[in-house]
């Protein structure tokens, strides 16, 4: 009797990583189908022939890679969900004085939310993506864990801390043990049209990295957005207000709180006779607090909410020693994590002060290479 191959839906963005993930899933014995998520209309964000991610050209590249692999390819329209759950949250965060990370929301709500749910509804056993991360069995196989990829330069576990046990159980990361040069070599060897394609940028819907221009387009004449990240006194974060010092004395005028982030030094547009740094953003009063002593943007304690624990079935009852990463590009640093039993939030106390943790960014917890979980800095 012929055995039925397990079925895998491969999220194909049109880049080399997802193309090779499809190739490796095929070689592992899966019956694969490639799927590209349509996330926005090009006219909504400004089509750019040089745009490396999420354009119509990328869907075409994904389709050509699927042809080279001999697998079907489809496009799913998630534009409404992307605008609400990723773009909307991004804009609302900046309007509320926070610094968002839309890649985390895209993974949470779209790839391992909507797309994985669609895959399971359609009878697929696994969702395959080109992320650089490892899914490992823990607790003698009773649970799944998330660990850093072998190629640390591309490790993406920081963006994946929201994954649940169910999502980990139904996901494959075939690139876990490969370096980027090895991925490109595999693509070239297999004749994939994406073998030499350049890297994608982080924020796919922000043209040329100009998020301020994007926010001006998004909010238009100031209709405002959702209040996901807390109230704001100026509706969209783009209304001029005051720079003030720690005592509230006015130092000058700013162009809108959405243009600033904690720790920022350059591009402030105010002269104080010596370097100044953004120490606080106050959305309710539309003020940006500046300091001239850089030590004021360091702190040794942060509060984290919306915490997802991957390594534990419940928040740890005792303080936990771990390494905490407060930005994707920041190194993990030693800290003590204390879960608050009443509301599920976490207090992170660092062994030494860290520079400019920003509200809205993720704090992700590690034990060596193993991702314990994480949450959003508040």
**Catalytic site positions:** 106, 204
CA dihedral sign, ordered 179, 183, 185, 189: positive
CB contact set of 130 (below 8 Å; sequence gap of 6+) = 11, 13, 15, 17, 18, 19, 20, 21, 174, 175
CA distance 123 to 253: 57
Buried b (16+ CB within 10 A) or exposed e, 34-59: bbbbebbeeeebeeeeebbbbbebbb
Task: Quickly tell me which residue has 């350059």 as its tokens.
Answer: 266
CA distance 113 to 117: 6
- Under 8 Å between Cβ of 350 and 378: no
SS3 label, residue 42: helix
Task: Quickly tell me which residue has 């920041």 as its tokens.
Answer: 330
* Structural element, H or E, at residue 191: none
Best CA proximity match to 215, nearest among 234, 193, 243: 234
CB contact set of 178 (below 8 Å; sequence gap of 6+) = 20, 150, 151, 186
- Under 8 Å between Cβ of 51 and 208: no
With 0-12 / 13-18 / 19 or more C-beta atoms within 10 angstroms meaning exposed / middle / buried, residue 235 is: middle
CA distance 115 to 194: 23
SS3 label, residue 334: strand
Instruction: Classify 116 in phi/psi space as left (phi over 0), alpha (psi -120 to 50) or beta.
Output: alpha
DSSP 83: I
């Amino acid at each position: 009797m012929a055995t039925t191959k397990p079925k895998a839906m491969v999220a194909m963005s049109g880049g080399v990583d997802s193309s090779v993930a499809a190739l490796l899933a095929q070689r592992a014995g899966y019956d694969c189908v490639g799927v590209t998520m349509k996330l926005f209309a090009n006219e909504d964000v400004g089509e750019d022939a040089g745009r490396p991610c999420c354009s119509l050209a990328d869907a075409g590249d994904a389709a050509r890679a699927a042809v080279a692999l001999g697998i079907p390819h489809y496009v799913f329209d998630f534009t409404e969900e992307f605008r609400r759950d990723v773009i909307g949250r991004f804009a609302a965060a900046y309007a509320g004085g926070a610094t968002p990370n839309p890649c985390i929301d895209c993974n949470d709500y779209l790839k391992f939310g909507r797309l994985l749910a669609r895959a399971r509804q359609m009878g697929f056993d696994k969702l395959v993506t080109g992320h650089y991360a490892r899914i490992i069995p823990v607790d003698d196989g009773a649970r799944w864990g998330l660990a850093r990829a072998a190629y640390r330069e591309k490790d993406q576990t920081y963006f994946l801390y929201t994954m649940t046990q169910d999502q980990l159980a139904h996901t494959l990361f075939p690139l876990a043990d490969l370096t980027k040069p090895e991925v490109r070599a595999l693509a070239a060897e297999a004749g994939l049209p994406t073998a030499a394609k350049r890297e994608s940028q982080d924020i796919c819907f922000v043209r040329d990295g100009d998020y301020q221009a994007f926010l001006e387009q998004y909010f238009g004449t100031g209709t405002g957005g959702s209040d996901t990240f807390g109230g704001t006194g100026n509706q969209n974060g783009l209304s001029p207000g005051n720079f003030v010092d720690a005592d509230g004395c006015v130092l000058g005028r700013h162009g809108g709180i959405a243009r600033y982030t904690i720790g920022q030094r350059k591009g402030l547009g105010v002269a104080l006779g010596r370097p100044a740094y953004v120490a606080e953003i106050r959305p309710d009063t539309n003020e940006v607090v500046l300091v001239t002593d850089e030590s004021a943007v360091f702190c040794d304690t942060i509060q984290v909410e919306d915490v997802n624990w991957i390594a534990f079935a419940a928040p740890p009852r005792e303080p936990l020693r771990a390494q905490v990463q407060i930005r994707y590009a920041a190194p993990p640093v030693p800290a003590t994590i204390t879960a608050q039993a009443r509301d599920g939030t976490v207090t992170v106390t660092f062994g030494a002060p860290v520079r400019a943790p920003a509200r809205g960014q993720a704090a992700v917890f590690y034990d060596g290479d193993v991702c314990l979980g994480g949450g959003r800095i508040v």
